[in-house]
C-alpha cells in the first residue's frame, strides 16, 4: 500500500494524502523525500491551482516513525545533518509553493506535523484535533519546523509550547493562528471546498504574486524602498495579461477568462 496518494482533478485541485492510517501517518526519510518530490511536481504543473494536504484515518500525523528514530539514534553528526536538511527541504518547499495550500487536519498532529500545518496557507481542523510540539520530551528540539511554527503562532506562544510540550486543542490552535477554521468532523470537506471555490474564482497569476507579496513585505521594515517595491508590484500586474483581463472583465461586468476557461 502506498503511504501517500496524489491526485489532480479537472479543476486543478491537487490533493496530497498521507496514507498510513494504521501507524497514524507517521513519516520517515523515504516519505519525506517522496512528499518533497510531489510538492515540487505540483508547484511546476500549470494545471494545478490549489493544493490540499490531507491524511486518511484517525490522525493527520503523529510525527516521526519509531523505526526512523531508532536509525537516527545511531547516526553521526554528518548523517544527522544530511537527514535534517532533507526534512528542512520538505517544509521549505511546502511553505514557498507558488500555489495556495490548505491543510485538512483531524485527530493527532504532533511534532513535524505541526510544521506541515504551519507551512500551509490555510488550515481547517476538526474539533477533536490535538496538537503537540513534543520534541523536548525525548531530548530533541523542533528545529527544522521552527521558522514556520514561529511565523504561524508567534514567538511568545512558541516559547511556551516548545518548552512544555503540552498538548493543545484545535480551539487553542485557532486562537494562536495556526488554524484558520475549526469545524465538526462532518463539515471538514465542505469547509475546505468553500475555500477551494474561493481560490478558483481568482486570477492564478495574481494569487502567486499576492502570496509572494506577503513573504516580501512581512520580513521588511516599512521604508521608502519597500513602498517603491509595492508600487512597482501593482504597476507590473496592472499591465500584465491577467491584470488587464481582470480589470476589463470587472468594468464590462462579465466573468474573467480564467473562470470561463476553466468552467468554475
Q: Does residue 219 carry a pLDDT above 90? A: no
Characterize the bridge pairing of strands 181-183 and 122-126.
parallel
Where in the sequence is the domain holding 233, given as residue range(s)? Answer: 203-262
Q: How many CA atoms lie within 13 A of 161 on its CB side?
A: 25
SS3 8: strand
CATH code of the domain containing 208: 1.10.12.10
Are 112 and 238 part of one and the same domain? no
Are 222 and 109 part of one and the same domain? no
Residue where one domain finishes, among candidates 167, 182, 199? 199
The model's pTM: 0.94
Characterize the bridge pairing of strands 130-132 and 108-110.
parallel
Q: How many CA atoms lie within 13 A of 247 on its CB side?
A: 10
* Alpha-carbon gap, residue 109 to 48, rounded angstroms: 26
Residue-wise pLDDT for 140-181, tens only, equals 999 999 999 999 999 999 999 999 999 999 999 999 999 999
- Percent of the chain at pLDDT > 70 equals 98
Residue-wise pLDDT for 10-23, tens only, equals 999 999 999 999 99
Residue-wise pLDDT for 85-108, tens only, equals 999 999 999 999 999 999 999 999
* Alpha-carbon gap, residue 58 to 73, rounded angstroms: 28
Residue-wise pLDDT for 176-205, tens only, equals 999 999 999 999 999 999 999 999 999 999
* Alpha-carbon gap, residue 109 to 173, rounded angstroms: 11
CATH code of the domain containing 106: 3.90.226.10
Name the band, by pLDDT with cuts 50, 70 and 90, for residue 120. very high
Q: Does residue 262 carry a pLDDT above 60? A: no
Return the C-alpha cell found at 25: 501517518
Structurally, how many domains does the chain consist of? 2
pLDDT of residue 261: 60
Amino acid at each position: 500500500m502506498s503511504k501517500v496518494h496524489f491526485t489532480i482533478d479537472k479543476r486543478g485541485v491537487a490533493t496530497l494524502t498521507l496514507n498510513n492510517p494504521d501507524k497514524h501517518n507517521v513519516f520517515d526519510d523515504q516519505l519525506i523525500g517522496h512528499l518533497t518530490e510531489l510538492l515540487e511536481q505540483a508547484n511546476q504543473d500549470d494545471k494545478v491551482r490549489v493544493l490540499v494536504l490531507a491524511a486518511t484515518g484517525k490522525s493527520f500525523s503523529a510525527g516521526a516513525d519509531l523505526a526512523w528514530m531508532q536509525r537516527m539514534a545511531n547516526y553521526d553528526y554528518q548523517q544527522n545533518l544530511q537527514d535534517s536538511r532533507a526534512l528542512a527541504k520538505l517544509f521549505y518547499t511546502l511553505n514557498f509553493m507558488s500555489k495556495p495550500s490548505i491543510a485538512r487536519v483531524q485527530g493527532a498532529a504532533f511534532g513535524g506535523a505541526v510544521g506541515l500545518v504551519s507551512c500551509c496557507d490555510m488550515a481547517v481542523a476538526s474539533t477533536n484535533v490535538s496538537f503537540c510540539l513534543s520534541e523536548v520530551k525525548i531530548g530533541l528540539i523542533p528545529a527544522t519546523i521552527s521558522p514556520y511554527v514561529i511565523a504561524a503562532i508567534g514567538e511568545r506562544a512558541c516559547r511556551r509550547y516548545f518548552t512544555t510540550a503540552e498538548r493543545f486543542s484545535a480551539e487553542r490552535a485557532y486562537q494562536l493562528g495556526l488554524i484558520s477554521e475549526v469545524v465538526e468532523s462532518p463539515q471538514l470537506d465542505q469547509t475546505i471546498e468553500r475555500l477551494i471555490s474561493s481560490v478558483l474564482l481568482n486570477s492564478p497569476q495574481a494569487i502567486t504574486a499576492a502570496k509572494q507579496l506577503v513573504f516580501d513585505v512581512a520580513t521588511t521594515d516599512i521604508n521608502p524602498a519597500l513602498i517603491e517595491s509595492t508600487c512597482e508590484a501593482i504597476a507590473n500586474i496592472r499591465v500584465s495579461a491577467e491584470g488587464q483581463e481582470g480589470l476589463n472583465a470587472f468594468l464590462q461586468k462579465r466573468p474573467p477568462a480564467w473562470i470561463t476557461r476553466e468552467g468554475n
